[in-house]
Amino acid sequence: MSDPVVKTRGRGQYRNEYVAALAATSSLVASVACAGWSSPALPVLRGPGSPIPITPDEGSWIVSLLSIGSLFGPIICGMFVDRYGRRPVLLFSAIPLVAGWLFIGFAQSIGMLYTARLLHGIGYGLAYSVTPIYLGEISSDAVRGSTGVLVTVMAKLAFLFEYSVGPYVGFRALAWISLALPMCFVALFFWMPETPYSLLARGNKQAAAASLRWLRRSNAIDEELARMEKLVLDSKRKGNPLRQLLMTSTNKKSLVIILLLSLGMQLTGINAILGYSQTIFSRLALPLTAAELSIILALVQLASVMLPTFLVDRAGRRPLLLVSTAGSLVGLATCAVYFTLDETTDDILSPEPGAAHGWIPFVGVLFFIVSFAIGLATVPFAILGEVFPKHIKAAANAVFAVITSAVVFSVVKLFQVISDGAGTYVSFWIFTGCTAVTGVLIYFVIPETKGKSFERIQEMMTHREKGNESERDGSDGVENKNHSVSSTFLKAMQSLLRTPHLIAPTIAVLMLVLLIPISSEVEIDCNSLRMGQYICPDPSLRQIDPKTQQLRGCTPENRARVWCIAVDGIVCSETKNTSFTREMPCKWTNGYHFDTALLLSVFLGMFGADRFYLGYPALGLLKFCTLGFMFLGQLVDVILIATQVVGPADGSAYIIPYYGPVITVVRSDNWTYRLPQDNW
C-alpha cells in the first residue's frame, strides 16, 4: 500500500513553506535596509550642502547606534514571542522601522538621527530574533537549510536596494522610499499563518492542525502533529527556557557553537566594511565612483548568497564554513597588505590616479564578500534553527542576538576610531587575525547537522562528549584526536558563559590596546592653527556652489562654516582626524542675478523693471510713471548697477557668472588705519 503522504505531496509539495518563508524574510529586507542606509547617507551628511552637517565621530555613532538599539529587540522577543506567538511579534517589528524612517524624513538635528537609528535597531533586532524561529518551525527537515539561508539572501537584497537607490536620490527622499519596505512586509506577512508549534504551545490544536495542513499541502499530518504535540508537552514540563539553556549540558554545548559562529561572523569586520563601503572605496583612485563600486559590491553579495541556498542541504554545513573562512582570510589579508603599503610607504605603490594596483583592494573586498557569503553569512542561521529544542529556541535566539549586537557595536564603532588614529590597515589586520582564529575553532568545534531531524541532532549533542557521534571523514585515530581538541575548546568557551556580559567589553579593550602605540601625530584644537598649517576650504570637497560661485551654506551675515584640512602630522581634537570646520567670509546671495538686473536696466529701465526686480518697488513705480525720470534716472541706474553700487534691497550679493565682472567695494572712514607708504 502506498504512503499517503508521499502520494499527496508531489510536485510543488514545499510551495507554501517557501511562500511563508519569503513573506517572513521580507521583514529582513525592511530591517537590514536600515544597516545599508548608512553607506550612501554618510557621504551626504559629511559632504558640502549637508542637510544636517556632522563630524566623523558623529558619523560613527550614526552607524553604531543601530547595534545598540538591536540589543532591545531580542529582549522584547524573549518576553513576548512565546506568550503572543511568532507572527504578531514579527509584525510588530515593522512599527519601530516605520517610526525610524519618519524621524529621518523630518530630521532637523543630529539628535533626531540618533533616535531614528535606535528605533531602527529595535526593529532590526526583533526581526533577526523572530525570523529564524518562524522559519525553523514552519519548515520540513528537507528544506530547513534552504529556508534558513533565505535570511541572508533577503538581507543582501536590502543592501543592494540601499546602495543602488541611495546615491541617486536626495537624503530625505531615500527615507521616504525606504519607508515602503516595512509597509510591504506587513502587507505580505499579514496573510501568513502562525507556526504550528506556537499554536500548540498556547493550546490551540485545531488551529495548529490547519496551519500545518496549509504549510505541508497535505491532509496526512497526524503523525507530525503528534510529534510536535509531544515536544510541546515535554518543553512545558522542563520549565524556564533560559534556565534550561544555561544549565543543561547539551544546550550549553549548542550555545557555545552558536556563539562561536556569531563571534566569527562579526569579527571578520563584515558590518564595518558594509557600513563604511563608500567611505572605504572613496580612497581608491579608480575610474568608477565610490557609489558605483558599492553597487557592484551589493550585486556580488546577492549573487554569492544564492549559491548556499542550493548547497547547504547538499554539501553540508562544515565544508561550507571552512571554505568560507579560508576565502575570507585571503580577501582580508589582501586588503590589509595593500593598505599597509599604501599608508606606510611612499615608493612602492604609484600615486598616479587610475593605476592598476588600485583595483587590488577592491578585488580583495569582493573576494572576501563572496567567500563570507557562501558560508559564514548563511550557515549559522541554518544551524541556529537546528541545534536547539523548540521550547528554548526563543531564549537561544535572544542570547545569540544580544551577544551579536554587542560585538557588532564594538567592531563598527572601533573601526572608525582605529582607522582614523592608526590607519585603515590596522583594522584590516585585526579582522584578518580574528578570521584565522575562527577557522581553527570551526574545524575543531562545529559538528555536521546536515539532513538530521531535531531529535537526531539533540541525540548527537547528548552523546558528543563520549565520542559516539562521528561526522568527519578520515581514520578513527584522526577523529579521536580532533574530538579531544574539540572537548578542550568546548570547555574553554563554556567557561565564558558564566560571565557573558564580559565578552563584548573584553573584545573592545583588546582592540583599543592595539591603538595605543602607533601614532606620532599631535592632537590640538585646529581652530588655533595659523596660516600655512591648514588648507581651507578642503579642496577635495565640493564646497563651492557652482550656481552662485560662493561657499555652500553662506548666511545673511556673510559667513559660512566649511570643512578644512590640516597639514600632515596634526590631528584635530574636534574630529580626531585631520579635518575640522572653520567659519570663512563669503557673499550671501538670494537669487538676484547681475546679468538679469543689468539687462533690465538697459532695456526696460525707463519702466522701472530693474528696481522692481531688485526689490525697490517705490523707486520702480516712480520710474514707471516718469519714464525713468525722462530717461536720465535710467542712465544713472545703468551706471550704478553696472558698477554694482546698487544691489538687491535685502543686502544680498549678485549672482555673477564664473567669468563675470565681480567688483569688491573697499570703503574707508575716520576709523580706517592707513599704513604709511614707506612702511609697506
Tell me: the pLDDT tens digits for 35-52? Answer: 888 888 888 887 777 888
Instruction: Mark whether 577 and 629 lie in a shared domain.
Output: no
Instruction: Mark whether 272 and 415 lie in a shared domain.
Output: yes
Q: What is the largest CA-CA distance in the chain?
A: 119
Instruction: Mark whether 289 and 400 lie in a shared domain.
Output: yes
CATH of the domain at 379: 1.20.1250.20
Instruction: Mark whether 402 and 369 lie in a shared domain.
Output: yes
Instruction: Mark whether 418 and 366 lie in a shared domain.
Output: yes
Instruction: Round the average pLDDT of the chain to a whole number and report it.
Output: 77
Instruction: Mark whether 597 and 565 lie in a shared domain.
Output: no
Task: Give how far the C-alpha of residue 318 lies from the chain's centroid of Cα atoms, to the nearest Å.
Answer: 28
Tell me: the pLDDT tens digits for 61-75? Answer: 888 888 888 888 878
Identify which has the larger pLDDT, 256 or 621.
Answer: 621
Per-residue pLDDT, 505: 47
Identify which has the larger pLDDT, 247 or 259.
Answer: 259
Per-residue pLDDT, 96: 93
Does the pTM of the predicted model rise above 0.85? Answer: no
Instruction: Mark whether 556 and 413 lie in a shared domain.
Output: no
Instruction: Mark whether 97 and 179 lie in a shared domain.
Output: yes
Please give the tally of structural domains in the chain.
4
Tell me: the pLDDT tens digits for 526-582? Answer: 888 888 888 888 776 777 888 888 888 888 888 888 888 888 778 887 777 788 888
Instruction: Mark whether 292 and 151 lie in a shared domain.
Output: no
Residue of 116, 150, 111 whose CA lies nearest to 132: 150
Average pLDDT over residues 490-503: 47
Tell me: the pLDDT tens digits for 129-169? Answer: 888 888 878 887 777 667 767 777 788 888 888 888 888 88
Per-residue pLDDT, 508: 44
Q: Residue 385 — very low, low, confident or very high, per pLDDT cuts 50/70/90?
A: low
Secondary structure (DSSP) of 201-213: HTT-HHHHHHHHH
Per-residue pLDDT, 178: 92
Residue 282 in domain: yes
Per-residue pLDDT, 449: 64
Residue 507 has pLDDT above 60, yes or no: no
Instruction: Mark whether 273 and 405 lie in a shared domain.
Output: yes
Residue 512 in domain: no
CA dihedral 431, 433, 434, 435 (to 10 degrees): 80
Q: Residue 336 — very low, low, confident or very high, per pLDDT cuts 50/70/90?
A: confident
Structural domain harbouring 558: 522-587
Identify which has the larger pLDDT, 477 or 278.
Answer: 278
Per-residue pLDDT, 13: 77
Average pLDDT over residues 430-449: 82
Using only C-alpha atoms, the chain has a radius of gyration, in whole angstroms, of: 32
Instruction: Please report, for residues 15, 208, 374, 375, 660, the alpha-carbon distance to residue 368 in angstroms, rounded to integers and kept in the order given.
Output: 33, 43, 10, 11, 52
541 touches 44 (CB < 8 A): no
Residue 185 has pLDDT above 80, yes or no: yes
Average pLDDT over residues 655-659: 77
Residue 651 has pLDDT above 50, yes or no: yes
Residue 203 has pLDDT above 70, yes or no: yes
